[in-house]
């Protein structure tokens, strides 16, 4: 075994296994273990790790742990909004809907398994959102976030802080059900599908090319705008449908 001393950023302390009191302690890890191996064995996925220092010098996750090392682990900081979207695990359906509401391409199904999540993360360069730490330890997941909150609204706040969601948000441009971009349609082409009251007061409509749902700026739209203003107060009011 190799004995080293670890100091974790306070933001990571909650992820450490319960037998590790505080954020500074000695730990005997397997000989020839890398920093990634050792830190993840303590409970912290590599997706949550920011800067690393060993004996006062910057280090990478591939560095081998040596006897007597002082290893300092910082939490991952704020990251740019993802260009290629997210994949949310099966337990984060509410969060997936909120992200789609903001216009983010978010892959999610109730039956989405770890193998498919890893494939989507690798092939489509998606950021993985999960409450499964073991999944986030997989080496082929380059970007990911361990979602700490339990409720969807708090989860959205958490992800918004981590990924600066306001940078690429395009609210109300994506289907909440199918995740496909919505397309504008003429009122005449969908008029037979509209409730009478909607026909009278609305002129602009969007359609999902997947599930064929029709969307307009009704009371549900206004409620969703209020939710977004409450959850992401730094984001400008959602644009009107054009």
**Burial class of residue 59 (count of CB atoms within 10 Å of its CB; 0-12, 13-18, 19+):** middle
Q: What is the DSSP letter of 228?
A: H
Looking at the structure, tell me whether residues 68 and 186 fall in a common domain: no
Q: What is the pLDDT of residue 225?
A: 73
User: Residue 119: inside a domain, yes or no?
Assistant: yes
- Domain shared by 90 and 151, yes or no: yes
Based on the domain organization, do 219 and 141 belong to the same domain? yes
* Domain membership flag for residue 9: yes
Looking at the fold, whether 11 and 30 belong to one and the same domain comes out as yes
Asked whether residue 237 is domain-assigned, the answer is: no
**Quick one: 151 and 43 in the same domain?**
no
Spatial CA neighbour of 42 closest among 87, 77, 78, 9: 9
Residue 6 lies in a domain: yes
User: What pTM was estimated for this model as a whole?
Assistant: 0.87
Under a CB-based contact definition with an 8 Å cutoff, are residues 100 and 107 in contact?
no
- Does residue 106 sit in the same domain as residue 32? no
Instruction: Choose the final residue of a domain: 75, 97, 132.
Output: 75
Residue 67 is part of a domain; what is its CATH number? 3.10.20.30
pLDDT value at residue 241: 39
Sheet holding 127-130, edge to edge: 106-107, 86-88, 127-130, 144-146
- Residue 239 in any domain: the answer is no
Pairing of strands 214-215, 205-207: antiparallel
Does residue 130 share a domain with residue 157?
yes
Is 81 inside any structural domain? no
Instruction: From first to last of the 242 residues of the chain, give the pLDDT tens digit.
Output: 899 999 999 999 889 988 786 788 999 998 899 999 999 999 999 999 999 999 999 999 999 999 999 999 999 999 999 999 999 999 999 999 999 988 999 999 999 999 999 999 999 999 999 999 999 999 999 999 999 999 998 999 899 999 998 888 888 899 999 999 999 999 999 999 998 888 888 888 999 999 999 988 876 677 677 777 776 666 554 444 33
Query: Which of 27, 48, 75 is at the close of a domain?
Result: 75
208 within a domain of the structure (yes/no): yes
| Residue 117 is assigned to a structural domain of this protein | yes
Produce one character per residue of 142-178: b if its CB has 16 or more CB atoms within 10 Å, e if not. Answer: ebbbbbeeeebeebbbbbbebbebeebbebbbbbbee
The residue segments making up the domain with residue 154 are: 86-231
- How many domains is the chain built from? 2
60 with 107, same domain: the answer is no
Note whether 10 and 117 are same-domain residues: no
């Amino acid at each position: 075994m190799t004995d080293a001393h670890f100091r974790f950023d306070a933001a990571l302390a909650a992820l450490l296994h319960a037998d590790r009191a505080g954020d500074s302690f000695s730990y005997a890890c397997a000989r020839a273990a890398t920093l990634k191996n050792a830190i993840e064995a303590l409970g912290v996925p590599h997706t949550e790790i920011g800067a690393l220092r060993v004996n006062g010098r910057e280090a990478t996750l591939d560095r081998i742990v040596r006897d007597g090392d002082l290893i300092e682990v910082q939490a991952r900081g704020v990251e740019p909004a993802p260009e290629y979207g997210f994949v949310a695990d099966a337990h984060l359906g509410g969060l997936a809907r909120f992200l789609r509401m903001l216009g983010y391409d978010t892959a999610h199904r109730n039956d989405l398994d770890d193998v498919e999540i890893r494939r989507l993360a690798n092939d489509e360069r998606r950021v993985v959102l999960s409450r499964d730490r073991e999944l986030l330890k997989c080496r082929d997941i380059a970007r990911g976030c361990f979602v700490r909150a339990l409720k969807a609204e708090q989860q959205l706040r958490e992800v918004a802080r981590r990924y600066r969601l306001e940078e690429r948000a395009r609210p109300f441009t994506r289907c909440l059900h199918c995740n496909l971009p919505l397309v504008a349609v003429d009122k005449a082409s969908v008029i037979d599908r509209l409730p009478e009251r909607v026909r009278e007061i609305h002129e602009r409509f969007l359609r999902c090319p997947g599930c064929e749902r029709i969307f307009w700026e009704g009371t549900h739209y206004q409620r969703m705008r209020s939710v977004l203003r409450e959850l992401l107060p730094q984001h400008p009011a959602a644009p009107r449908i054009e």
